[in-house]
Every structure is written in C-alpha cells, then in structure tokens.
C-alpha cells in the first residue's frame, strides 16, 4: 500500500429537510386543522481515528465527501428521516486543518477518537407549530437549515515511540530490518527510503514502535532533497536515535548537519531526547572507532554508542537505552 501523509479534501454536511404544509382531510372530522411534520436533520461529517491504518491513500482518489440531506416533513405530523452521517476513517495520529493549513481543527491521537467537522442542518418546522387561536389554518413552514461545507487538509503524523534520523546512507533501514520484522528497501545509494517505515521492537518484557524516517540533507528545511516534510513524524516520537555513518572521515559534519535541520524546523525537536549512534563500525579498526567516538563525545557532551546494523553488534544496548528514555517521557506525559 502506498504511503500518503497529506491530503486535501472537500466536505459537506447534509441540509436539513424542509417543514411540511399539510391539512387533515379525513371523513367525519369537521375541523381537520394543520398536520405538517418537521423536516429531518441533515447528516454530519465525522472523522474517526481507527487502528490498522497508516496512510491517507484512501483520500488520494476520492476528494469530495458529502453527508445525506434530511428528508422533508410529511402530513399526519410525520417527521422526515434524518440524513446519514458521512464517516471519514483516518489513521491514529491524523491532524485536521482548515484550508489555510494553519488553523487546527482536530488532532486525533487515540483509537476511537472522533470529531464532528461539519454539522448537518436542523430540519424546518412544519405548519403544525404555527397553529394558534387566531390562525387556525397556517400555511407557513420553515425551510431546513443550510449545510456546512469547507475544504480541509489531513496531515498524518505517525505515532512511534522512537524515530531513526540521520543523513542518507547512515544505515537506518538496515538498523530497522535488523531489529524488527519490517522489510524496508536497502541499497548502497542514498534516498532508498522514500516514506516512513514502522517496525515493532521486541525486548525481554518490553516493546516499542520504531520509525525509520527518510534521510535529511543540508537545506532540507528549505525543501532541498525530500525536504522536511517527514520531520513532522518525529514530533510524535519520544526519543530520537541519531545514526551516523562511522566510515565518514569527519563524523562531526553529519551530526551538525542534522542538528541544524532539526533546529531550523522548530516544533521543539532540538530538545527531544537523543541517542547518538556510530553505525557501520564493522568496517573500521578498533582504534579508528575509539578516535571517532571521542571526537563526537567532545562535541556533544553525550555518550556515543557504537553499533553495526549488519552484524547486530551493540544494537541491543541502544534499544534498551531507547526504552528507558521512552519510559521517562511517558511518566512526564
């Protein structure tokens, strides 16, 4: 299934049914009087977050969604039927914005959470409501209330506990494939990952969701490369696992590049817990690994982990550290 994390759609609720003008016409009843019923209520447009969905691809090919209109009232004081609601099923983690992309309508973070995006119009009153001592045969009925319509944007921000970040070819896909049952594309050229990939980490007595996010490059916040579009998914993560290719001559350059892009993107990503990992150490000599580890520790003032996604060396230690950071974040939520 193709991954899609943005979609623009048009929604329209149902118009309320008109009230009815009717009079009783029955044998042996001398004074029939008005008996027009009310119109039915128009359907609402409702968005609901459901599990087992991780893409907005359903909204790529159908972009107009309308609820049913309410039926008109009828004689014998019969109320028209209400229009059916239009249900939009979206993945958990979907944010809904007005057309301006700035005004947030809803943020659906929990399964089953729902919000009414456009309310159906109320049905009009039939002429029965207008009967009085001075007006025994009213010929007035209210029209149904109009529908609401608008264009909205759906933005999906995947809910993962930890996110893999780093430059292209840092080994993120290999790391994900080695630690989960996910099967991301792996190749020896940049940008093999074109959309976020999810996998579940299983540790002894613990598990969490890990997301492999497409590689950033310098200038991503300005739209270069794949841009910063997928950084929105990091906002949901409680911890970032920053992978750095240990085979590069200067390992401080990729670290500073990614940190700069995180800061330029904003949304407080720069302050999220970060685990820094030197990857691909199976291609280096022990003294080279120690030298690059010390260089990064001096720059970041943090512990630098060394792993090989290919052989699995050091991977479990990083995962346990990520699990601890996730637990800390959960306690402060």
- Annotated ligand binding at 161? The verdict is no
- Annotated ligand binding at 127? The verdict is no
- Annotated ligand binding at 247? The verdict is no
- Annotated ligand binding at 134? The verdict is no
- Annotated ligand binding at 310? The verdict is yes
- Annotated ligand binding at 278? The verdict is no
Q: How many CA atoms lie within 13 A of 78 on its CB side?
A: 8
- Annotated ligand binding at 309? The verdict is yes
- Annotated ligand binding at 13? The verdict is no
- Annotated ligand binding at 173? The verdict is yes
User: Distance of CA 92 to CAs 51, 96, 128, Å?
Assistant: 6, 12, 47
- Annotated ligand binding at 254? The verdict is no
- Annotated ligand binding at 184? The verdict is no
- Annotated ligand binding at 146? The verdict is no
- Annotated ligand binding at 167? The verdict is yes
Report how far residue 118's alpha carbon sits from residue 289's, in angstroms, rounded to the nearest whole number: 58
Q: What is the number of H-type helices and E-type strands within the chain?
A: 5, 14
- Annotated ligand binding at 313? The verdict is no
- Annotated ligand binding at 280? The verdict is yes
Ordered strands of the 86-91 beta sheet = 86-91, 45-50, 114-118
- Annotated ligand binding at 279? The verdict is yes
The angle, 0 to 180 degrees and rounded to 10, between the axes of the packed helices 286-300 and 252-265 is: 30
- Annotated ligand binding at 213? The verdict is yes
Are 40 and 78 a contacting pair, CB within 8 Å? no
- Annotated ligand binding at 193? The verdict is yes
- Annotated ligand binding at 77? The verdict is no
- Annotated ligand binding at 223? The verdict is no
**Strand boundaries in the chain, DSSP class E:** 6-12, 45-50, 64-66, 86-91, 94-98, 104-108, 114-118, 149-156, 162-165, 197-203, 206-212, 239-245, 274-279, 304-306
With DSSP H G I counted as helix, E B as strand and the rest as coil, what are the percentages for the chain, rounded to 5? 25, 25, 50
Binding-site residue positions for Mg(2+): 173, 193
Binding-site residue positions for GTP: 166-173, 191-195, 212-215, 279-282, 308-310
Binding-site residue positions: 166-173, 191-195, 212-215, 279-282, 308-310
């Amino acid at each position: 299934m193709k991954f899609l994390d943005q979609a623009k759609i048009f929604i329209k609720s149902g118009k309320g049914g008109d009230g009815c003008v009717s009079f009783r016409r029955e044998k042996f009843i001398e004074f029939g009087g008005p008996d027009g019923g009310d119109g039915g209520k128009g359907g609402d447009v409702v968005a609901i977050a459901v599990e087992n969905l991780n893409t907005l691809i359903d909204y790529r090919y159908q972009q107009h969604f309308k609820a049913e209109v309410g039926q008109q009232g009828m004689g014998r004081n019969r109320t028209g039927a209400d229009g059916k609601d239009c249900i939009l099923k979206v993945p958990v983690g979907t944010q809904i914005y007005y057309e301006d992309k700035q005004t947030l309508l809803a943020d659906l973070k929990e399964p089953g959470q729902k919000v009414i995006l456009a309310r159906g119009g109320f049905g009009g009153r039939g002429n029965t409501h207008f009967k009085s001592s001075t007006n025994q045969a009213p010929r007035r009925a209210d029209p149904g209330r109009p529908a609401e319509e608008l264009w909205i944007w759906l933005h999906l921000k995947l809910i993962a506990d930890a996110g893999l970040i780093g430059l292209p070819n840092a080994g993120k896909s290999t790391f994900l494939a080695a630690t989960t049952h996910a099967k991301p594309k792996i190749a020896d050229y940049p940008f093999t990952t074109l959309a976020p990939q999810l996998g579940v980490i299983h540790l002894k007595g613990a598990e969490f969701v890990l997301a492999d996010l497409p590689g950033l490059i310098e200038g991503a916040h300005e739209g270069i490369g794949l841009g910063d579009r997928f950084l929105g998914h990091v906002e949901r993560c409680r911890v970032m696992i920053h992978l750095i290719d240990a085979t590069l001559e200067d390992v401080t350059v990729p670290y500073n590049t990614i940190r700069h892009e995180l800061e330029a993107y904003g949304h407080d990503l720069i302050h999220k817990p970060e685990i820094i990992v030197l990857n691909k150490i199976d291609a280096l000599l022990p003294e080279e690994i120690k030298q690059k580890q010390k260089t990064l520790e001096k720059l970041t003032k943090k512990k630098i982990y060394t792993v090989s996604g290919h052989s699995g060396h050091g991977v479990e230690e990083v995962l346990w550290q990520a699990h601890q950071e996730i637990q800390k974040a959960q306690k402060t939520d």
